[in-house]
Amino acid sequence: MTHARDVQPADRTRLDLISDCGSCFGLCCVALPFARSADFAANKDAGTPCRNLQADFRCGIHSSLRDKGYSGCTVFDCFGAGQKVSQVTFGGTDWRRDPETARQMFAAFPVMRQLHELLRYVDEALRLPAAKAVHGELRRAMETIDALTLRDAADLVETDVAAVRGPVGELLLRAGELVRARVPGKKRNHRGADLMGARLKGADLRGANLRGAYLIAADLRGADLRSADLIGADFRDADLRGADLTDALFLTQPQLNAAKGDATTRIPATLARPSHW
């Protein structure tokens, strides 16, 4: 097992942005609401513990979430925000032992989650050699966001995440364009496009702009998605069997978890193959 103290500074951020449920007080299972649907077997209000949350803050049906009707849980990732709020913002004091912290803790979690998601994207962009021209600005953005995550709970809750996301989003767009510019040939621009159920089997989407595209239930079997910008793309039930996402840009674990794939789907080395594939 790798420990944080054994990791070089360049990799420390990446570890901090990986969910560590064992260091969290089950915040995603309490702070967030969900409605009975194809994704969740029951209704739950924000601030109310999920019926499956155990005394040790672990999920009682974690190994069978999909079978029990909680597939929505399998496509959620806090990007390390849960342990940050639990162990840093609130210093390891949980909401059960100190109920007076509960309301503020639950309010801080979704804000932290958004900031950590931005950090995750910036961290990836800083690892792209082709985006070196914007690395200085990206590093400054990371320092700014990181400082926001270290504010006390009251200030954290008041953070205007939209104001932070705007300029960071532009930086990420520039980073993506620098990478995609190196891909030969004409690149497709499907930014924000409605491609729900689209027949894209075997499509050449290398270097494409698919930011925010709706690819719900799209047939992407055997498609080439290398160097495609996938930030915010909706892959729910998209068929990625045999697709190549080897160096796809800004692809996250929740996006993969929401899709369908198999052993022939090629994914970035930094992500895990979903267990249901």
Collapsed DSSP state (helix, strand, coil) of residue 272 = coil
pLDDT digits (tens, 9 = 90+) for 85-104: 999 999 999 999 999 999 99
Cβ atoms of 109 and 82 within 8 Å: the answer is yes
Residue 8's pLDDT is: 40
CATH classification code of 187-277: 2.160.20.80
Give the ranges where 101-230 is alpha helix by DSSP (H). Answer: 102-125, 135-149, 153-157, 161-180
Residues in CB range of 236: below 8 A, 6 or more apart: 75, 216, 217, 258, 259
What are the CA-CA distances from residue 268 to residues 175, 179, 210, 213, 251 (Å)? 18, 16, 17, 20, 8
- 160: buried, middle or exposed (CB in 10 Å: 19+, 13-18, 0-12)? exposed
Strands (E) across the chain are located at none
**Residue 15 pLDDT class (50, 70, 90 cuts):** confident
Question: Domain locations in the chain?
Answer: 4-179, 187-277
Residue 3's pLDDT is: 34
**Residue 5 pLDDT class (50, 70, 90 cuts):** very low
pLDDT digits (tens, 9 = 90+) for 60-90: 999 999 999 999 999 999 999 999 999 999 9
Residues in CB range of 117: below 8 A, 6 or more apart: 79
Residue 268's pLDDT is: 95
Mean pLDDT score, 134-158: 97
pTM over 0.85: yes
